[in-house]
Structure 1
Amino acid sequence: MKHIFLNLKRFDIVCERGGVNRLSAPATWGTAIARAVAPVATRYEGTAEFAAFLPEAHIIPAVQEKGTAPFGIGCQGVHTEDSAPGGNFGAFTTLRTANSMAELGCSWALIGHCEERMHLRSVMAEAGADPAAIEPAVDRILAREVRAAQAAGLKVLFCMGERSEEQDAWDQVLTRQLEGGLAGAAKDGLRIAYEPVWSIGPGKTPADAPYIAKVARLVKAALPGVDVVYGGGLKADNAQMLAGIDEIDGGLIALTRFTGEIGFYPDEYAEIVDLYLGK
């Protein structure tokens, strides 16, 4: 089975505030996303697994709108600790715990996205941490997030990938991220998203099929039975290329349009999925 994930980041911000939301008023944005995903997920039910990761404020309306449509709603990360009977009752001000997300209707958590990793690195660097100790520490924190999400019954899309300065040692870097970031994790309900950070962004050369395939083989050798999706952006211009990589089991979509009036457009989302899945 293929897997189609949608990560809307903070795309709920309107253009007047520097965002790219041309889809809906912020109050109805979560509903609009669910309406965009539902018909596509229904059309491919039994062929592909769908999930959409949303900013926290939009989870409840998205869950309500999706109803019984065959896709999951996910949160963008969880805290490393959580409430527990006989333990902490929920004193986690400002922090998004996995139990709270499950209560809101989430069935997925996105963990280890390159933007989350960048934030963790910046906090440690601000504290004067030894640069050599930062990456292993990031891995340990992410592993605690994964375990917390799984303890709450959430499925996990775990993101990993190398930066440009790490490319020469790509296999060592990715192996470390998998071993450290998934320490103690269960394979059940786990999916891996490969983000070639060095190739993402304006003016950068996208990763090609042979490169993506060799990374997927490395991941599957380390985690037999766990599916791998391309997390560097499933788009109209790479959907058919990615569909031709046997080792890849799906993709992560964010924006659908990257030039002109950039943003997320439901019709273009459907077109990308159709291109990838072959309709």
Structure 2
Amino acid sequence: MLVDAGVGLVIVGHSERRHGLGETDAVVLEKVHRAGEAGLQVTLCVGETGDERDAGRAEEVVERQVDAVVDLGRVPLHVAYEPVWAIGTGRTATHEDARSMHAHIRATAAEALIIQYGGSVKPDNSAALLAQDGVDGLLVGGASLDAASFAAVVPL
């Protein structure tokens, strides 16, 4: 149905689905399979909660989420690191935190993956985030709802 409507890319595993609706890694895997079968490109959202981060488990959590689907080489896959504690809070990971997690994802999964950062991306932090090694793009959330704000991010 999505392909018939002209959709070419889907976002799977967003924290609002994982945490708000209880979607498990198994459910995310099934969605990735089905999207791949339909010929859709997938952006897989991964990220840790504030509690997981504070407990020193951020890399472990993200690695588990990536490992659950990354072996599906036949599905075009982008990964968006979107720390749950940064979504809609106005807080953004430090540039070093973003660089470090992207490097960890790349080492865990594959050099060929496209890895994006999401989590309170705004015009005033987008250039610095994109300047970090391993950050291939941005998944813009709330800033995309305001045309001027989104336009200030897009030219990058």
Question: Do Structure 1 and Structure 2 share a fold, with TM-score over 0.5?
Answer: yes
Root-mean-square deviation (Å): 1.9
The match for 1:172 is 60
For residues 116-172 of structure 1, the C-alpha deviation after alignment (integer angstroms, 9 at most, x for no partner) is: 112332xxxxxxxxxxxxxxx700110010010001000000000000111111111
For residues 228-271 of structure 1, the C-alpha deviation after alignment (integer angstroms, 9 at most, x for no partner) is: 00121321121121121021001011223xxxxxx823233222
Q: SS in structure 1 opposite 2:57?
A: helix
Give the alignment partner of residue 130 of structure 2, picking from 243, 252, 257. 243
The match for 2:9 is 108
Partners of 2:75 and 2:18 in 1: CA distance = 24
Partners of 2:126 and 2:70 in 1: CA distance = 32
Structure number with greater Rg is 1
The change in CA–CA distance for 1:231 and 1:163 in structure 2 (over 3 A counts) is same
The change in CA–CA distance for 1:268 and 1:183 in structure 2 (over 3 A counts) is closer
User: Deviation above 6 Å: which 4+ runs of structure 1?
Assistant: none
Partners of 1:183 and 1:223 in 2: CA distance = 6
Contact 2:118 2:138 in 1 (8 A): yes
Give the alignment partner of residue 139 of structure 1, picking from 25, 31, 41. 25
Q: How many angstroms does 1:188 deviate by?
A: 5.0
Letter in 1 for 2:147: P
Partners of 1:156 and 1:227 in 2: CA distance = 11
Letter in 2 for 1:195: E
Contact 2:36 2:75 in 1 (8 A): no
Letter in 2 for 1:101: L
TM-score by length of 2: 0.89
Q: SS in structure 2 opposite 1:228?
A: strand
Structure 1 gap segments, 5+ residues each: 1-99, 122-136, 257-262
Partners of 2:38 and 2:140 in 1: CA distance = 25
Q: How many angstroms does 1:107 deviate by?
A: 0.7
The change in CA–CA distance for 1:188 and 1:152 in structure 2 (over 3 A counts) is closer
The change in CA–CA distance for 1:173 and 1:105 in structure 2 (over 3 A counts) is same
Contact 2:81 2:118 in 1 (8 A): yes
* Identical-residue share of aligned pairs (%): 29
